[in-house]
């Protein structure tokens, strides 16, 4: 059971009401975000931009999201986000969420992002070798976008775990 009371959907106004009406049933994460009215819209727009406006391939975003989800132990993201992911196979998702060291179907680019995201979970100070491997595969813009996507999913996973949204 969640540790806080979600925002009341009947009391949402303006853009938050519009967002809520477009979401699938049981949007517990959104109703948590809606409690912080001053930032809820910005967080939703950031999530939308991460999936619609990046140069970074969506597959790489989802690799980072899975790494963060596993590291945090976010049950909400496992249950609500990953069933809709179509850019990774079921076997790849299972391997990511179980923390496999290597994933055979990953190419060099996928592997570099996987190692980078795993290192980023451990510390924001990425070692030179891991950074160099990622830099061989990604543009500077894509590196920044990867870190942004990692941070976005880290925020969602932290909200889930700290407030027990997925429990």
Q: Each residue of 48-96: pLDDT tens digit? A: 999 999 999 999 999 999 999 999 999 999 998 888 899 999 999 999 9
- DSSP-assigned letters across all residues of 32-61: HHTTSHHHHHHHHHHHHHHHHS-SS-HHHH
Query: Is residue 167 included in any domain, yes or no?
Result: no
Based on the domain organization, do 42 and 68 belong to the same domain? Answer: no
pTM to 2 decimal places: 0.94
84 found inside a domain: yes
Burial of 27 (0-12, 13-18, 19+ CB in 10 A): middle
Rounded Cα–Cα distance for residues 26 and 145 (Å): 29
Evaluate if residue 17 carries a pLDDT over 90. yes
Q: Residue 70 is part of a domain; what is its CATH number?
A: 1.20.1290.10
């Amino acid at each position: 059971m969640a540790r806080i009371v979600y925002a009341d959907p009947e009391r949402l106004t303006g853009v938050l009401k519009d967002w809520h009406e477009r979401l699938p049933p049981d949007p517990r994460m959104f109703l948590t975000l809606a409690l912080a009215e001053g930032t809820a819209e910005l967080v939703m727009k950031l999530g939308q931009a991460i999936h619609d406006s990046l140069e970074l391939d969506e597959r790489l975003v989802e690799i980072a999201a899975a790494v963060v989800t596993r590291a945090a132990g976010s049950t909400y993201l496992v249950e609500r986000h990953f069933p809709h992911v179509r850019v990774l196979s079921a076997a790849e998702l299972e391997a990511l969420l179980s923390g496999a060291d290597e994933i055979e179907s990953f190419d060099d680019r996928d592997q570099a992002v996987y190692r980078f995201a795993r290192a980023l979970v451990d510390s924001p100070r990425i070692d030179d070798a891991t950074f160099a491997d990622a830099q061989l595969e990604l543009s500077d813009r894509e590196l920044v976008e990867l870190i942004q996507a990692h941070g976005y999913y880290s925020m969602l996973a932290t909200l889930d775990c700290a407030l027990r949204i997925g429990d």
